[in-house]
Chains A and B, each alone.
Chain A
Amino acid sequence: DIQLTQSPSTLSASVGDRITITCRASQRINTWLAWYRQEPGKAPNLLIYAASNLERGVPPRFSGSGSGTQFTLTISSLQPDDIATYYCQQYNSYPWTFGPGTRVDIK
């Protein structure tokens, strides 16, 4: 199975800050990577697909990049609504797998 690691595991930043979350895959996955945001008690919400494509309806302050084994999710200007846990997911090969998550909160 392809293992995904995320760093950092938690992140505290101020409103307006630019933040970056990294996801690393144990094998090359081309660009078959998605990013989700999940608020407590809710279903995940797709932000980015195929590593760098913004899902419709997602604010443009979110962006993704990377290919192969290293990927990043960037929020260009952190907003109070961005308090959540962020997960990466690979869908290059079965079983699809998720990273352990990065919890983001506001200082």
Chain B
Amino acid sequence: QVQLVQSGSEVQKPGASVTVSCEASGFPFSTYWFHWVRQAPGQGLEWMAIINAEGGETTYAEKFQDRLTLTRDTSTNTVYMQLSRLTSDDTAVYFCARDRVTNGLLITGDSWGQGTLVTVSS
């Protein structure tokens, strides 16, 4: 079945970087797009960026443009999210999600990873 499995929780110091992985299984990885969403404690959902698994094209939300990098590895069916220059405001649960196209219609977020808690603390 369709699965997105994310890497485990992280604790990082301010100014450091973090990389979260999202391994896909149960479907042809390269034909999908993946996006990342985060959720600070007790807050709503915030869209961060999207990557095309086939060609690696990316689009970032402007607020993350200069410190967020999405990559993918088609040999391991894994998408990576690297966020640099961390501050306490980046403490959140980070989710990856899959988008599919059915009958020419884009369907966003039809499958999600379990979430990865990133805590930024000195």
Contacts and interface: CB of A to CB of B under 8 A. Distances in A.
A101 B35 CA distance: 20
B109 A44 contact: yes
Given A43-B114, A44-B95, A98 B45 contact: yes
Interface residues of A, number: 24
B46 interface: yes
B113 A34 contact: no
Residue of B35, B45, B47, B59 with most partner-chain A CB within 10 A: B45
A25 interface: no
B112 A44 contact: yes
A46 B46 CA distance: 16
Contact of A101 (B44, B95, B108, B114): B44
Contacts of B108: 34, 46, 49, 89, 91, 96
Nearest to A31: B105
A89 B97 CA distance: 13
Contacts, number: 64
A89 B47 contact: yes
B51 to A, nearest CB: 13
B47 A43 contact: no
Contact of A46 (B44, B109, B114): B109
A50 interface: yes
A87 B107 contact: no
Interface of B: 35, 37, 44-47, 50, 59, 61-62, 95, 97, 105-110, 112-115
23 contacts: A43-B95, A43-B112, A43-B115, A44-B97, A44-B109, A46-B107, A46-B108, A49-B110, A50-B105, A87-B45, A89-B45, A94-B59, A94-B61, A95-B61, A95-B62, A96-B35, A96-B108, A97-B47, A98-B45, A98-B47, A100-B44, A101-B44, A101-B45
Interface of A: 32, 34, 36, 38, 42-46, 49-50, 53, 55, 87, 89, 91, 94-101
